[in-house]
């Protein structure tokens, strides 16, 4: 049975703390009692030894004093009594000595006692001889000599006993010092154990606090988020809406509220089961979150319904983000058990401003707009109350985006070719840039690429456009090869940042080469410098992979960035196309002319050919020739022609022989 590791850690931690505290108490009590008992015993024993040694000294003095009294008195009976008193002092001395011998002795004490024993025997013999002579009326000279010998022996014994007392006092001091040192050691051990217990307790307390906080956060998250997608739930979404409403009212901020309803979700849920539906919802959540800002709120408010709050967002930006979501979901392919599905999303939007009456009304308006989006064909964004000029412009842009995604794309797009001329020598191959034009279905005119392409890029649609352009260009090249098998022509095709970020783009290009049997160097892929730098690692990977097939690359709008030159070593390209603004200004701006010359010089050093764009007059052309620029492109040299017309001219031209190897 598995156990919660956190609970186990906390339990073990508390057990460890209790064990440490018990160990501390045991050591403190037991060691302190042991120290006290040992110290008391040692001190008592030492004091007894000292007391006994002092008693022995006293008895030696008494025996000497008594012997001297015998010498002074002339009374025989008194001398006899004093002789008996000397014997008693000797016996008392012996008893004290026996007591001293009963204790454990150190080596030094034993040595001193051994010396003292020898001195005792000599002193006893001298004392006994002197006392006996005093009782026997021996000659005075003999008695005095005996007294001198006895006194000398007594002094030696006293000196020995003094040494013994001094030694025992030193032993007592050493014992006390050792006891103090041992107490300090025990105190240090107890302190370390106490600190260990404290830190373990602090760790456990922090762990408990952290886990409690984590559990509270999990409980709060579960209460405010959807269990499946982990998105905010309806309750939390309404709370954030109310906060946004306050900032709109109080601070005059603008927010966008969106209702999202998945199209064709029920088909997947019914045909594959709820497990498939859940998997799809999780993946759709990731797709939507990848296209919105980090501070925006995405919430699941129903089975296949989502709420989206763009905080601090203008209408233009909100529509851009919402259309990006529509495009991403439309292009997403859901796979389940070898089956493929495509779904869509309808989005209703309403702005929350200082004029918004209430959140309830805003929710109702967003809901109505979402239903309107479904009624108008699904897969689109419907904004509540769009009636002003800005709205009309946005709607027109969205119609262009719809054209990009339309299955009949060829009716909306046209391809044009503009020549890139070698202005230094006669050259082969003939080079052209492929230009994209979008037909305005309302008035039959062409929409400028400056309008339609940025719109497509904003909505992440240029990947599809790039692939369409590549496919159509290769198809025209294939037809040209059929008509002129040995033709030598190179077409420059612009690719977008969307394609650079697409992992399958390189493989798609190679497939098209093989499909149409095109010579690899017949096409040069053109990348804008700003887009290349923004995705420099992805760009370098794409270039490295395709250059293995001898596919050419050009870096467009070069010089627009401050650090343009520093990126060249990471992006090995074949052509640099100088930014058109620099070319236009070089005729009256010496700094721009110097920059063109510098770019040309760098190109020569790195073996990169230079192309000047936007050449609009002969004066600019002559300056470019003087600097040594290789190629030029612009309305002065050639105006864009429909690709079909240009291919027809190549077939019929007398220059066909110059296009042969």
Q: Which of 282-291, 401-410, 473-482 is the least confident region?
A: 401-410
CATH 3.30.750.24 applies to domain 234-386? no
> Residue 433: what pLDDT?
95
Query: For residues 526 and 433, what is the distance between their CA atoms, to the nearest angstrom?
Result: 9
**Is residue 512 predicted with pLDDT exceeding 90?**
yes
* Per-residue pLDDT band at 218 (split at 50, 70, 90): confident
Mean pLDDT of 354-376: 84
With 80 as the cut, is the pLDDT of residue 49 above it?
A: no
Q: In terms of DSSP bridges, do strands 446-447 and 297-300 run parallel, antiparallel, or are they unpaired? A: unpaired
Superfamily of chain region 412-659:
EAL domain (3.20.20.450)
Across 320-334, 377-391, 589-603, 625-639, least confident range: 377-391
pLDDT grade for 388, boundaries at 50, 70 and 90: very low
Q: Which two tokens stand for residue 237?
A: 């979404």
Contacts 24+ apart (CB under 8 A), 59-64: 59/89, 59/90, 59/92, 59/93, 59/96, 60/89, 60/93, 60/123, 60/154, 60/157, 60/158, 60/161, 61/154, 61/158, 62/89, 63/89, 63/90, 63/93, 63/127, 63/154, 64/127, 64/150, 64/151, 64/154
Q: Which residues, 6+ apart, have CB-to-CB distance to 656 below 8 Å?
A: 484, 487, 650
Average of per-residue pLDDT across 560-576: 72
Q: Confidence band (pLDDT; 50, 70, 90) for 550?
A: confident
Terminal-residue alpha carbon distance, the chain: 79
- Encode pLDDT of 274-298 as tens digits: 888 899 999 999 999 988 888 899 9
Q: Is the pLDDT of residue 658 over 50?
A: no
The catalytic residues are 304
Per-residue tokens: 241: 């809406």
95-99, 201-205, 257-261, 482-486: least confidently modelled range: 201-205
3-state secondary structure of 528: strand
Reported as a pLDDT band with limits 50, 70 and 90, residue 313 is very high
Predicted pLDDT at 575: 93
pLDDT category, 419, cuts 50, 70, 90?
very high
CA 492 to chain centre: 43
Whether pLDDT at 193 is above 90: no
pLDDT digits (tens, 9 = 90+) for 441-456: 555 566 666 666 766 6
DSSP labels for 248-269? HHHH---EEEEEEEEESHHHHH
* C-alpha dihedral sign at 585, 588, 592, 596: positive
Q: Is the pLDDT of residue 526 over 70?
A: yes
Half-sphere exposure of 48 (CA within 13 A, CB side): 16
Which pair of tokens denotes residue 232? 């905010």
Cis peptide before 324, with omega less than 30 degrees from 0? no
Least confident of 16-30, 482-496, 524-538: 16-30
How do residues 171-187 score in pLDDT, each as one tens digit? 777 777 777 777 777 77
Confidence category of residue 493, pLDDT binned at 50, 70, 90: very high
Confidence of residue 405 (pLDDT cuts 50, 70, 90): low
pLDDT at 30: 64
pLDDT band at 511 (very low <50, low <70, confident <90, very high): very high
Q: What is the pLDDT of residue 562?
A: 46
Q: What is the pLDDT of residues 316-362, one digit of tens each?
A: 899 989 998 998 898 888 988 888 888 999 999 999 999 888 888 88
Structure confidence by residue, pLDDT tens digits, 69-110 = 887 887 878 888 888 888 888 888 888 878 877 877 778 777
pLDDT of residue 610: 94
pLDDT value of position 16: 66
Are 435 and 496 in contact by the 8 Å Cβ rule? The answer is: no
Tens of pLDDT along 225-279? 888 888 888 888 999 999 999 999 999 999 999 999 998 888 887 778 888 889 9
Name which of 61-65, 439-443, 512-516, 561-565 the model is least confident about.
561-565
- pLDDT for position 414: 85
pLDDT category at 117 given cuts 50, 70, 90 is: confident
How confident is the model over 308-312, as a mean pLDDT?
93
Alpha helices by DSSP H, 292-340: 315-331
**What is the pLDDT of the chain when averaged over all its residues?**
81
Of the options 1.10.8.60, 3.40.50.970, 1.10.3720.10, 1.20.120.1730, the CATH number for the domain spanning 5-204: 1.20.120.1730
Give how far Cα 1 sits from Cα of 4, 19, 408, Å. 10, 26, 63
What single DSSP character describes residue 354?
T
* Mean pLDDT calculated for residue range 364-392: 74
**Which of 126-130, 340-344, 587-591 is least confident?**
126-130
Other CB atoms within a 10 A radius of the CB of residue 10 amount to 17
Assign 459 a pLDDT band (cuts: 50, 70, 90).
Answer: low
Q: Where are the domains of the chain?
A: 5-204, 234-386, 412-659
* 536 band by pLDDT with thresholds 50, 70 and 90: confident
348 half-sphere exposure, CB direction, 13 A CA radius: 21
Alpha-carbon gap, residue 311 to 166, rounded angstroms: 94
State mean pLDDT over 193-203.
76
User: In this structure, what is the dihedral angle of CA atoms 173, 179, 181, 184, given to the nearest 10 degrees?
Assistant: -140
Give the total residue count for the chain.
661
pLDDT at position 92, please? 85
């Amino acid at each position: 049975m598995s156990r919660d590791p956190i609970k186990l850690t906390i339990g073990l931690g508390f057990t460890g703390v209790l064990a440490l505290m018990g160990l501390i108490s045991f050591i403190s009590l037991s060691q302190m009692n042991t120290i006290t008992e040992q110290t008391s015993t040692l001190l008592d024993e030492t004091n007894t030894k000292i007391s006994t040694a002092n008693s022995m000294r006293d008895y030696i003095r008494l025996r000497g004093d008594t012997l001297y009294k015998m010498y002074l008195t002339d009374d025989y009976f008194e001398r006899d009594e004093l002789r008996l008193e000397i014997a008693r002092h000797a016996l008392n001395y012996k008893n004290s000595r026996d007591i001293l011998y009963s204790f454990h002795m150190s080596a030094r004490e034993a040595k001193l006692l051994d010396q003292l024993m020898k001195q005792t025997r000599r002193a006893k013999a001298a004392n006994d001889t002197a006392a006996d002579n005093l009782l026997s009326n021996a000659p005075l000279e003999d008695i005095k000599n005996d007294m001198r010998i006895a006194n000398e022996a007594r002094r030696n014994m006293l000196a020995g006993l003094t040494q013994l007392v001094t030694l025992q006092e030193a032993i007592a001091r050493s014992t006390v010092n050792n006891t103090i040192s041992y107490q300090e050691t025990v105190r240090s051990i107890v302190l370390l154990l106490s600190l260990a217990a404290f830190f373990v307790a602090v760790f456990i307390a922090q762990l408990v606090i952290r886990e409690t906080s984590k559990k509270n956060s999990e409980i709060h998250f579960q209460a405010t988020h959807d269990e499946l997608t982990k998105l905010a739930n309806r309750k939390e979404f309404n709370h954030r809406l109310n906060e946004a409403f306050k900032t709109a009212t109080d601070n005059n901020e603008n927010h966008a509220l969106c209702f999202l309803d998945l199209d064709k979700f029920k088909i997947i849920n019914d045909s594959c089961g709820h497990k498939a539906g859940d998997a799809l919802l999780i993946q759709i959540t990731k797709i939507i979150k990848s296209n919105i800002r980090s501070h925006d709120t995405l919430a699941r408010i129903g089975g296949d319904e989502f709420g989206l709050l763009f905080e601090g967002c203008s209408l233009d930006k909100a529509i851009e983000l919402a259309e990006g979501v529509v495009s991403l979901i439309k292009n997403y392919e859901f796979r389940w058990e070898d089956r493929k599905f495509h779904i869509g999303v309808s989005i209703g939007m309403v702005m929350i401003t200082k004029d918004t009456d209430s959140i309830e009304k805003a929710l109702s308006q967003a809901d109505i707009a979402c239903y309107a989006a479904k009624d108008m064909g699904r897969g689109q964004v419907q904004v509540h109350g769009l009636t002003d000029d800005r709205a009309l412009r946005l709607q027109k842009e969205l119609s262009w985006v719809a054209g990009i995604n339309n299955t009949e794309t060829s009716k909306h797009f046209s391809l044009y070719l503009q020549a890139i001329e070698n202005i230094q020598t006669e050259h082969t191959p003939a080079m052209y840039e492929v230009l994209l034009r979008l037909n305005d279905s309302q008035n039959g005119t062409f929409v400028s690429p400056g309008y339609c392409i940025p719109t497509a890029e904003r909505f992440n649609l240029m990947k599809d456009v790039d692939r369409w352009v590549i496919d159509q260009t290769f198809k025209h090249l294939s037809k040209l090869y059929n008509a002129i098998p040995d033709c030598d022509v190179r077409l420059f095709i612009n690719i977008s940042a969307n394609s650079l970020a697409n992992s399958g783009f390189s493989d798609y290009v190679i497939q098209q080469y093989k499909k149409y049997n095109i010579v690899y160097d017949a096409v040069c892929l053109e990348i804008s410098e700003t887009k290349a730098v923004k995705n420099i690692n992805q760009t370098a990977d794409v270039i490295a992979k395709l250059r293995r097939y001898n596919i050419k690359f050009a870096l467009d709008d070069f010089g627009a960035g401050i650090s343009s030159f520093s990126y060249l070593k990471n992006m090995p390209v074949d052509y640099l196309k100088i930014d058109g603004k620099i070319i236009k200004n070089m005729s009256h701006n010496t700094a721009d002319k110097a920059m063109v010359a510098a770019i040309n010089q760098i190109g020569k050093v790195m073996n990169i050919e230079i192309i000047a764009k936007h050449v609009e007059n002969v004066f600019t052309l002559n300056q470019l020739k003087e600097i040594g620029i290789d190629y030029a492109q612009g309305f002065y040299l050639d105006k864009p022609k429909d690709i079909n017309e240009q291919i027809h001219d190549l077939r019929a031209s007398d220059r066909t022989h110059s296009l042969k190897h």
